[in-house]
Amino acid sequence: MENSDLISVKAVVSGYVQGVFFRAFVSRWAEELGLSGYVRNLPDGAVEVVAEGERKELEKLISHLKAGPPAARVEKIVTSWAAYSGSYSGFSVRY
């Protein structure tokens, strides 16, 4: 795989997304899709996802974010794409 196929995305997910296993849900999908980065809760009640990998896998992750785990209610996702940094060794849940 060439590095030109790699990209980074930051997604901020708003709605009822904390306390509903959202971070575990994101982490499971990111690992299954072979992505690196992290997921964390934000003080305003949103969840931030920073992920790197192949664009098609990142787009799959974003589609899973839109659905969320069963107890979640996703109201809005703001995404911003950036250059691949290669600074994550795997995918982690930050507390």
Domains in the chain: boundaries: 3-83
For the stretch 21-66, pLDDT in tens is 999 999 999 999 999 999 999 999 999 999 999 999 999 999 999 9
Q: What is the reported pLDDT for 26?
A: 98
| Residue 23 designated active-site | yes
Confidence of residue 5 (pLDDT cuts 50, 70, 90): confident
Placement of tokens 């209610």 in the chain: 73
CATH number of 3-83: 3.30.70.100
Query: Rounded to two decimals, what is the model's pTM?
Result: 0.94
Asked if the model's pLDDT at residue 1 lies above 50, the reply is: no
Order the strands of the 6-16 sheet from edge to edge.
Answer: 73-83, 6-16, 47-54, 36-41, 91-94
Catalytic residue among 3, 28, 40, 41: 41
DSSP string, 39-62: EEE-TTS-EEEEEEEEHHHHHHHH
Catalytic residue among 23, 40, 55, 73: 23
Asked if the model's pLDDT at residue 3 lies above 60, the reply is: no
| Residue 41 designated active-site | yes
Asked if the model's pLDDT at residue 70 lies above 60, the reply is: yes
